Amino acid sequence: MAFSTMGQFLEYFQTDRVIKVLHDLNVGALIHNPIFLGGMAAVAIIALFMRWRVILIIVLSLVGVTGLVAYTLQQGTGLGEGMHTDNLFIFVVAGAGIIFFVIYLLFIRGD
């Protein structure tokens, strides 16, 4: 792969494009959609009873990240004057919490 094609590929991950895609996907409405929530709950219950730990963790983390992104997009994504805003702080802390929860369930807890 040439460096110019890699550069063109990485342009798709610019913040403006990612936020535009998230707005176009309407992630905020997804977390309030009863079909999405019901489907995720059904998959989580099945995974819990069948002891499919990895699938349960994936479902819980997917719903958590979706809720976090929906909340962040609802509150606004502008940083204003500096890098410190409450929305950015909530996003970083909650995202780190979700990641630590997934790491704990996958690697630390050994049931």
pLDDT of residue 45: 92
Residue 9, pLDDT above cutoff 90: no
Quick: pLDDT tens for 63-101.
Answer: 898 888 888 878 766 655 555 667 778 888 999 999 999
23: in domain: yes
29: in domain: yes
12: in domain: no
**pTM as predicted:** 0.68
- Domain of 97 in residue numbering reads as 17-108
pLDDT of residue 93: 92
- Residue 56: count other Cβ atoms within 10 Å of its Cβ: 19
11: in domain: no
How many domains does one find in the chain?
1
10: in domain: no
Phi, psi (degrees; rounded to nearest 5) at 84? -105, 110
Quick: pLDDT tens for 22-41.
Answer: 777 777 777 888 888 898 89
